[in-house]
Amino acid sequence: MKEPIPPPTDTIADSSTPKQLRFLVIGAGSRGNAYARAVTTATPGVIHAVAEPHPFKRSEFGRNYIWGEGTPSEGQQFADWREWVQWETKRRAQAQNAETGASGNIPPGVDGVFICTLDETHVGIVQALAPLKLHILCEKPLALSLDDCLTVYRTLQPPEGETKTPRAPSNIFSIGHVLRYSPHNILLRKLLLTDNIIGDIVSLEHCEPVGWWHFSHSYVRGNWRRTTSAGDGSLLTKSCHDIDFILWLLCSPLSPETTAAENPHKPHFPRTISSAGTMTQFRRARKPKAAGTATNCLTCPIERTCNYSAVRIYNDRHLSTGHTAWPVDIVAPDIEDVFRVQGSKAAESHLLARLAEDYDTTTPDSTIASRPWYGRCVYEADNDVCDDQVVTITWDDEEGAPHRLAKTASFHMIAPTEKQCERRGRVYGTKGEIAYDSHSISIYDFASGETTVIDVPKPPPERKESHGGGDYGLARQFVSAVEAVEVLGVEVEEAQARFVGCTLEEAVRSHAVVFAAEEARRGERVVRWGEWWGEKLRVSADGWE
């Protein structure tokens, strides 16, 4: 059981900073908790409020990060984000009245918001928050279609007049591309681009091994098992930050820490994008004959020998060892409370009751699609996303840029793996090559024939499930950017570049590469990036130069 975080005081950890930075978390699921832990333990900011419809999740989140063992104050908990927007609008009106002489005790507001809800809700929440002029960190993906990504761009950074030239941003915006912020990947990028340790990059191979049971949890039985309305699936919901990682290494300007005015180099845009992939494993044709007509693990005759038995995954591998966090608390959000109060046997019964939930041919599709079914047979599920996909990106020489030469990149997302989300890859250069995994970087030098291995320190145990420290790095940089603007008076554009290192435009563009790859996969064709992107912007209601 986690020890509750004490309630925030009136001053932040750094006593030299006069203002307490406060944040709202919308969505108290696994990502909301990840960012709350990061903000609370690695930044001077505090989590001040939570908006979450599930009562237990909301109260547990508040106990752990906001009010501790006490009771919430006004403005610290809300049933959903709409309720918070209404409250905040009223609070601001009261504050404005107070400025004109009206009396009253006005509760504090927040400086920024973490959007950690289901993917399909992001656009609506951003649109509702935009008039409030708050700093925003949105979990990836930004949206489920390119049109919606462009809508977010126009909402937060609208064109000025008829010139279609973006105005300078008025608030910090960050996206949950956590791979940019892990110590391992920051060092890798420095070695490749700043130190030029293997010369000019010729080719890159990058793999995300999702993990055999992790994929079944999230992409066969869970919330991300179906393609979106735009036809995009696991490449978007699972691996959009891997595509962003590749573009960060091979496309982004060398020094994102400087402002646009100080850094004239434009991104090295790709020439072509192609992709191939399919749903190979989790389909009815591969169901073992001995399983018969069973559609749920609890009624399956071969449950004890099936690798994907929900009982074996959630109970035997996790709950029976006393582990009540992810993924068990995704199946049963209140499992920790049941375990703590009633004991292990009651917790097991509670979990099995959730796993027993199933549907049949009479269940409306809208009901099936509306929720996950964690006890469902993986071969009888309604999933349709790829469990094996490869993306290939090519670049041409960039005229006038001696170190921006033709190169290729390949990305492989694969489900049945031993490793779980422990990325690995290899970069080939003109002077050597680099191999990397989630823990080390190996450099081979052609001239000397020597190999140097750099062991990157592992995150401490309490941060082991934080994308190699990326969750903490992202939260720290976002809060630092907010602090620079709100406390130190730094211009938003400068703080965005210096601390976040990624503009909203760049975030939208990396999503666009994912959509281009999916169009290429479905159409079995090669997408020419320049033509494709130009056409997408032309047909959009508003584009930008």
Same domain, 363 and 398: no
Burial 338-376 (b: 16+ CB within 10 A, else e): bbeeeeeeebbebbbebbeebbeeeeeeeeeeeebbbbb
Is the residue at 1 inside a domain?
no
**4 vs 477: which has the higher pLDDT:** 477
Work out how many domains the chain is built from and give that number: 3
Q: How far is CA 500 from the centre of its chain?
A: 15
Is the residue at 204 inside a domain?
yes
Which of 219, 236, 240, 143 is closest to 385 using CA atoms? Answer: 219
Listed in sequence order, the residues at least 6 apart from 32 whose beta carbon sits closer than 8 Å to its beta carbon are 25, 26, 50, 52, 61, 114, 116
**Residue 306: strand, helix, or coil:** coil
Indicate the pairing of strand 173-175 with strand 407-414.
unpaired
Is the residue at 469 inside a domain?
no
Sole residue written with tokens 């009888």: 380
Give the domain CATH number at 62. Answer: 3.40.50.720
CB-facing half-sphere around the CA of 226: CA atoms within 13 A:
16
Is pLDDT above 60 for 499? yes
Is the residue at 88 inside a domain?
yes
Same domain, 46 and 101: yes
Is pLDDT above 60 for 290? yes
What pLDDT sits at residue 355? 98
Q: How far apart are CA 350 and CA 352, in angstroms?
A: 6
State which H helix or E strand residue 409 sits in: strand 407-414
What pLDDT sits at residue 400? 72
Q: Which of 311, 336, 369 is the last residue of a domain?
A: 369
Mean pLDDT for the chain? Answer: 89
**Residue 115: strand, helix, or coil:** strand
DSSP 6: P
Is the residue at 2 inside a domain?
no
Same domain, 399 and 353: no
Q: What distances in angstroms separate CA 132 from CA 110, 127, 494, one per listed residue?
A: 10, 10, 21
CB 376 within 8 A of CB 215: no
Confidence of residue 101 (pLDDT cuts 50, 70, 90): low
Is the residue at 320 inside a domain?
yes
Is pLDDT above 90 for 10? no
Same domain, 206 and 313: no
CB 482 within 8 A of CB 135: yes
Confidence of residue 102 (pLDDT cuts 50, 70, 90): low
Same domain, 39 and 153: yes
Confidence of residue 266 (pLDDT cuts 50, 70, 90): confident
Q: What is the pLDDT of residues 415-463, one digit of tens each?
A: 999 999 999 999 999 999 999 998 899 999 999 999 999 998 877 665 5
Same domain, 161 and 289: no
Q: How far apart are CA 507 and CA 523, in angstroms?
A: 25
What pLDDT sits at residue 522? 94
Same domain, 289 and 363: yes
Q: Which percentage of the chain shows pLDDT scores above 70?
A: 88
Give the predicted TM-score (pTM) of the model.
0.90
Is pLDDT above 60 for 11? no
Q: What is the mean pLDDT of residues 337-360?
A: 96
Q: Which of 175, 195, 215 is the last residue of a domain?
A: 175
CB 405 within 8 A of CB 397: yes
Is the residue at 188 inside a domain?
yes
Same domain, 533 and 418: yes
User: Is 149 buried (19+), middle (13-18) or exposed (0-12) by CB count in 10 A?
Assistant: buried
Is pLDDT above 50 for 351? yes
Q: Which domain holds residue 357?
A: 284-369
Q: How far apart are CA 224 and CA 515, in angstroms?
A: 16
Listed in sequence order, the residues at least 6 apart from 65 whose beta carbon sits closer than 8 Å to its beta carbon are 5, 25, 36, 37, 40, 47, 50
In this structure, how many other beta carbons lie within 10 angstroms of the beta carbon of residue 199? 16
Q: What is the pLDDT of residues 365-423, one digit of tens each?
A: 999 999 999 999 999 999 999 999 999 999 999 877 767 899 999 999 999 999 999 99
Is the residue at 511 inside a domain?
yes
Is pLDDT above 70 for 245? yes
What pLDDT sits at residue 538? 85
DSSP letter string over 32-98?
HHHHHHHHHHHSS-EEEEEE-SSHHHHHHHHHHHTSTTS-PPTTSEESSHHHHHHHHHHHHHHHHHH
Same domain, 270 and 409: yes
DSSP 349: H
Highest mean pLDDT pick, 125-139, 221-235, 526-540: 125-139
Same domain, 316 and 447: no
Q: How far apart are CA 223 and CA 245, in angstroms?
A: 24
Same domain, 219 and 350: no
E strands present in 179-304: 201-209, 272-278
Q: Which of 149, 175, 201 is the last residue of a domain?
A: 175
Among 92-106, 263-277, 491-505, 513-527, which is the least confidently predicted range?
92-106
Q: What distances in angstroms separate CA 294 from CA 14, 374, 379, 439, one per listed residue?
A: 58, 14, 10, 42
Same domain, 65 and 170: yes
Confidence of residue 160 (pLDDT cuts 50, 70, 90): low
Q: What is the mean pLDDT of residues 460-480?
A: 81
DSSP letter string over 497-536?
IIII---HHHHHHHHHHHHHHHHHHHHTS-EEHHHHHHHH
